[in-house]
Amino acid sequence: MGYDHTTVARAELLGAELLESQTKAINRMDADELAEAKDNLSMVDGMYTLNSVALFVGELRKVDRNLQFAPSAVSRFRDSKLRAVAGLYVYYKGDRYAMAEIKYGQVGITKTENDRFAVFSRKVCNEKFSSSRDQYYMAASVDLSKAVKNFKRYAIPYAPYEIAQMSLTRAASASYAAKVRPQRAMRDLTRELFEESSFWADTLRLYDSGHRFSSPKVNELFQKMSEAKREGMERSGRAVHMCAVEARDDGRFSLTKVLDMDDNTPYKSLPATSPHVVTQEQLPEAMQHKLALLSMVDDGAYVDEVGIRVNDWMYWIHIDGNEFTA
């Protein structure tokens, strides 16, 4: 199991659901149960939270007041139906993905270890654990100050090229499917043509007399085969370039280009590149037109020669040398 790249939208949705759940649980408590919860739990952004996790949050906010938090894990408080926050996703306002997750407790793989403050991040490679375990992406310490240092080291916002990597397979697969569609169409049409009973009789008459095919169906199939073959030859000799376009909350766009896409592209890792951010006015006119077209289709829809809309803020657009010079 690889690292769980959690979107901020999903994290905030989980937070809203937990807040609603906590409110219902609190309303069902009697005075003594409520007093016990308030004495043994802390409040973080309006949510009942385990004290040690809240302590971790307090120290992190001393370092950076702009940090945002949303629940990632819960723990049932005593015998009540109240679920307290036991882990938190951390991000900045405007981020697409949570840059880290923090927890406190027995975060390893044994139940005999001491409770520790843990930071989970895609930037951590903890070789003490298998890469298939969550702990491979964990840096943990019993010392809170060291845990804060771990956070500052590993909690890094996602770069545009990392965000583009998330949907690279989707874009490359859609592009490749479009590229081979004519060849597949030709194969299917050839099979259909050979199953047409009049084909062989017409072919024999053609051989004997030199006349055209008399069957409209056969003529139609040959016409489609000719068009598919021509289109296939054109596409097979044409390089496929695409650009990942992330529509940012500030109205600008992060661009990540991928050149010479082929059927191996989905299995490649994008190189780390410096963010290339432009305003809408700085986008080439052709790219603006394609973005407008993709904004009108459903998520996951691929438009031939235009690109694919991944969601309402991520698009992959077909480009050429004249359209994109960054």
Q: What is the pLDDT of residues 217-274, one digit of tens each?
A: 877 777 777 677 777 777 776 778 899 999 999 999 999 988 888 777 777 788 888 7
Q: Which amino acid type is present at position 143?
A: D
Q: Compute the 3-state secondary structure of the chain and give helix, strand, coil in percent, each to the nearest 5.
A: 45, 20, 35
Predicted confidence (pLDDT) per residue in 153-212, tens digit: 999 999 999 999 989 989 999 998 888 888 888 888 888 887 877 766 665 565 565 556
User: Hey, how many other C-beta atoms are within 10 angstroms of the C-beta on 326?
Assistant: 12
Ranges of each domain in the chain: 8-158, 162-169+239-319, 170-236
Q: Which amino acid type is present at position 137?
A: Y
Please give the structure tokens belonging to residue 107: 């975060």
Alpha-carbon span 136 to 154, nearest angstrom:
13
Q: Are the CB atoms for 177 and 185 separated by under 8 Å?
A: no
Alpha-carbon span 91 to 151, nearest angstrom:
12
Provide the CA 212 distance to its chain's centre, in angstroms: 54
**Residue 323, SS3?**
coil
Percent pLDDT > 90 in the chain is 53
Predicted confidence (pLDDT) per residue in 79-120, tens digit: 778 899 999 999 999 999 999 999 998 887 776 678 899 999
Looking at residue 326, its pLDDT comes to 43
Mean pLDDT calculated for residue range 296-303? 95
> Higher model confidence: residue 193 or residue 50?
50
In eight-state DSSP terms, residue 88 is E
> Higher model confidence: residue 221 or residue 11?
11
